[in-house]
Chain A
Amino acid sequence: MDDTTAAREIDHDEFDPYGTLALIVLYFVVLTLMWVFTYFVEFLGNAPTPMIVL
């Protein structure tokens, strides 16, 4: 299984990259969660900006 010989030939018209689609959907879900996480770190993780009244 480790040599690069192809078990079958698949040409352009037979190939639909569903696996790639699945991975990309997964990746975007993770990215979205990371953005949500960032929102909490950036905006809710810090104390309000101190007000200085002169």
Chain B
Amino acid sequence: MHRFHSISVVISLFVFWLVLSGYFTPFLVTVGLVSSVLVVLFAHRMSVIDREGHPLELRAGVWSYWPWLVVEIVKSAWTVSKLIVHPRLPISPTMMRVKMSQTSAVGQVMYANSITLTPGTISVAIEGDEILVHALTQAGAEDLAGGEMDRRVSACEARA
């Protein structure tokens, strides 16, 4: 375990403490810092803290991936909303398998969660290197099968 990684976990926990507590007296800030350090120390001894719980190595990639994902979410949410209020409900639900090219577990989770987060597609199950996806419309399924999201997640993973 790298020292840099542990320090980053301590800082995240400390910021979380500060935001939740809202008191900035010296005593309480010290208590918060000490308890963050202690939590990370104990977690090390129990070896429950690992790369997956705090995937610091993704920090370079997500800043280009998240804005794109937000735009995708807004676009597909708008499409799904139009489908819902459409009088004839023109949906064509499809189940399909999508290849994923990610190698690490974190990258695969990121891809599956991105699929679920976008309205109109849901990852139902993961089988080997394929994701079983339920799409609300044929067009959405073809969009996903085009593989742009897969490429972008892989690029984000590769920048680690």
Same complex for A and B? Answer no
A residues engaging B (CB < 8 A)?
Answer: none
Seen from chain B, the residues whose Cβ lies within 8 Å of a Cβ on chain A are none
